[in-house]
Structures are given as C-alpha cells and as structure tokens.
Structure 1
C-alpha cells in the first residue's frame, strides 16, 4: 500500500507557490481511506474566482458557475454515488445541491471542508497566491492541512459509499498530496468531476470523468 505522498508538480499553474511545503506537511501523515474509490468535485466558478480575488465563505456562484454545476450534475448522475459530503461555504453547498438533485440525495454540509481562511487577505488579489503564507487573522498552512486531513478522513471513513466530496481547490491540493496523487492543471478546473481509485498496488490515481467543455472552462484563483 502506498504510505507516502509524492510531491505535487510545481507549479501547477502560474499562481501556486508554496505547494512543495503543502506536500511536505501532508506526507508527514498520509491519508488511508477504508474505501477503494470515491469522487471529488470542486465548486463552480464564482465572480471572485474569475477576478482572482481571495473570497469569503458567502461568495455565490456566477452564472457560468451555475452552468458548470449543472453540467457536472449530468455527468455524476451516471455514477453509483450513495452519499455526498460538502463544504458549507455557499459556493460549494450550492454546487453540491445542484449535483445531488438528480441523485435524490441530500448533501451533508461540513464546516471542516471549507476552503482555507485567508484572514486579512480576503478581498485582495490572489493572482500571486503563496500557500505557505501566514495571513493575519487566518490559518497557517500547517493548520489548514491538518484541518483538511481531518475533514477528508471523516468524509471517507464510511462504507456507505461511493462518496462524493464537493469542496474547493485547496481541498484538492491537500487530498492529492495526502494520497500521493500527482495533479495536472486539467484536474483543477471548476466543477470538473474526478474519480479517485486505489489500484492493485495500493497506489491512488485520479481521472476526470469527462473532457472539459471549452464553453464551460474557466481559469481563476483556487482559493
């Protein structure tokens, strides 16, 4: 079984400083899910994603984000998902509710799955985001990784699966590092459904469930 997280490729996109430190922190205590597979979905785009601005937890989806969530719902409706756990941040909860409707499921919202709290940086530019910063009034990277590890462990500590986790870009970075899964920019898009599976050798891998629709693709900050 894979017991050590591999460093994340760096940079994953032009604004990904500090990921080596994130991978180092995650590798100190890798995640060991009891399940053999699960799903992950980053929330749809928000107005501040598009503007590359650190956002608060009440930031809504943009019109594009709503369309992205609806498209993800069509893809995920074909999957054998039995449970949905999501961040209680507005953008993630809205995305989870959109995806849950065709599956006749009710998302379980968890505060621990929220994106990192960037404190005094909220409302400022995230174009040159440094994950290893220590923002005034916010979480340090070590605190964030520890919180995310607990949240992801709780979400995956069930046999009532497969589970879908709906959360944030930061969640995906930590999740990948905890499982030793290399990421590429194509896996980081808003509302792009991912399927994580454990192979016969115990190593985890992630694949996109469908090709990204150019009409719905969007860049922007991960936070």
Structure 2
C-alpha cells in the first residue's frame, strides 16, 4: 500500500513578494527556493521513493525536477495537485487580498464560526471542499501503489490533503505549520526542514 510523503515547493518569487499565488503558473523558484528544493531532495533520496507526483505549476514542477534528478525517479505531473484556486485574489499582495476578502459580503462571517469549507475563494476560485475532492480522487488513484510516493505540491493543498487523510471535518481541520521546502509525512509531521530556511528565519 502506498505511503505518501509530501514536499512543499521551495520559495518562489511571489512568496518573497508576499503575493497570493493560487493557481498562477508564473512565479518560479528563487535562489533560496532552489536551495530548499535541493535540501529536500537530499533528504527524500534517503527515503527510497518509488514514485514522484507533482503539481504542474512552475514552482512545484521546478522543485520536483530537482528531487527527481537527485532520486533518479521520473516525475509525473498531475493537475489535481495544484494549489487552491483563489480566483480574483490571485496576484494581489497578501495584505490587500485579506482586506478585499474581509470587505467581500460573500465572505463575511462570524470570526468565531467554524471554517466554511464550501465558501468559494475570490468569487471565481474554488472552495476548500473542491480542493479536498480533487486530492481525494488523486489519492484513490495511487492507493494501489507499493512503497513511498512523494507528492510535491503547495501549502494549502497539503494542509487539505492531510485533513482528508486524517478523516477530519473540513470545517474544523487542523492547520499545520508548513514552510517552503518542508518534507511532511501523512500524519502531518515535518520530517525535514531546510537549514537554508532556518538560517533566514534567525
């Protein structure tokens, strides 16, 4: 039976600029992002990955390419591993997107209310439940694989995937601290964090 290991892509140019990336294909990895991907690749190589699947968005695909080359495993791209589509918020500075989200009457809700998994982000984007559903379809397709499968994807997709695997109610899902370049097991534990990222945070 497959054992899923997740890798969040390395830092992208839009991570650095603090922009909402969503399903934009444009932002590539920064130099730091490539170092984070390389550090993740060195660790993943020790795990003996049998397969590598990746989002086809540039920042994830570049990360997966580095991991695949290091592990000598071909990368398979899957659109179901793309980031949560934030619709009209995509490309905005995170601060501006949060202000727009708060001012949107369609998104307004009691701050103490549970997270709404059926709320579409950015009006033209998708809901958390839609993200969960497409990951669940991917997981069903790879369930029959043997050994470790590395999934290179994005922060919110990975958060949602972990909730799906744990069988959590999406309205009260657990939020994990996942940094760029982190390697995470299916229980949501960070099993490797790039020293490059740690150095920047100090």
- TM-score (norm. length: structure 1): 0.69
**2:93 equivalent in structure 1:** 125
Pick from 134, 138, 144 the counterpart of residue 147 of structure 1.
134
1 CA distance for matches of 2:90 and 2:63? 21
- Partner residue in 2 for 1:135: 122
1:103 aligns with 2:71: yes
Cα root mean square deviation, aligned: 2.3
Residue of structure 1 equivalent to 2:11: 45
Could you say which residue in structure 2 is the equivalent of 1:210? 192
Q: Which moved more, 1:130-139 or 1:144-153?
A: 130-139
Kept in 1, the 8 Å contact 2:82–2:153? The answer is yes
Q: Structure 1: which 5+ runs fail to align?
A: 1-33, 197-204
Do the aligned partners of residues 159 and 142 (structure 1) sit closer, same or farther apart at CA in structure 2, a change above 3 Å counting? closer
TM-score by length of 2: 0.76
Aligned residues: 173
Deviation of residue 50 (structure 1)?
2.1
Higher helix share: 2
| Cα offsets for 1:9-42 (capped at 9, x unmatched) | xxxxxxxxxxxxxxxxxxxxxxxxx43x321101
In structure 2, the residue corresponding to 1:137 is in which secondary structure? Answer: coil
Following TM superposition, where does structure 1 have runs of at least 4 consecutive aligned residues deviating by more than 4 angstroms?
129-133
Contact 1:85 1:109 in 2 (8 A): yes
